[in-house]
Amino acid sequence: MVEIGDKAPVYAIGIVAEMLDIHPRTLRIYEEYGLICPARTRGNNRLYSKKDLELIQRVRYLTQVKGVNLAGVKIILQLEEIIGPVITGAGKR
């Protein structure tokens, strides 16, 4: 059996949308804002990894639970890359 790592891009946009109960357009908007960066196939289809799914859930938590807009989410994620997950909700589901 082949083991797939957390960073391996394996999930298509439709599958991710269904798994996370999110509209595919929302995923595209997150990408446009630079919040997520899915891998691309040769045919230019988006492929998401488990890490991408965790990040999408983090973005949704910040926007829906904490009321942060997408520009604010981007700043929070950039800060967390530098100083670590100190903002409320890091690692929560």
Which carries the bigger pLDDT value, residue 49 or residue 85?
Answer: 49
Q: Is the pLDDT assigned to residue 57 strictly greater than 80?
A: yes
**Would you state the pLDDT for residue 5?**
84
Q: Is the pLDDT assigned to residue 69 strictly greater than 50?
A: yes
**Domain ranges within the chain, ordered by starting residue:** 11-83
Average pLDDT over residues 23-43: 97
C-alpha pair distances (Å), 36 with each of 5, 16, 55, 57, 58: 18, 13, 7, 11, 11
- Domain 11-83 in CATH 1.10.1660.10? The answer is yes
**Would you state the pLDDT for residue 49?**
96
Average pLDDT over residues 74-91: 78
**Would you state the pLDDT for residue 93?**
42
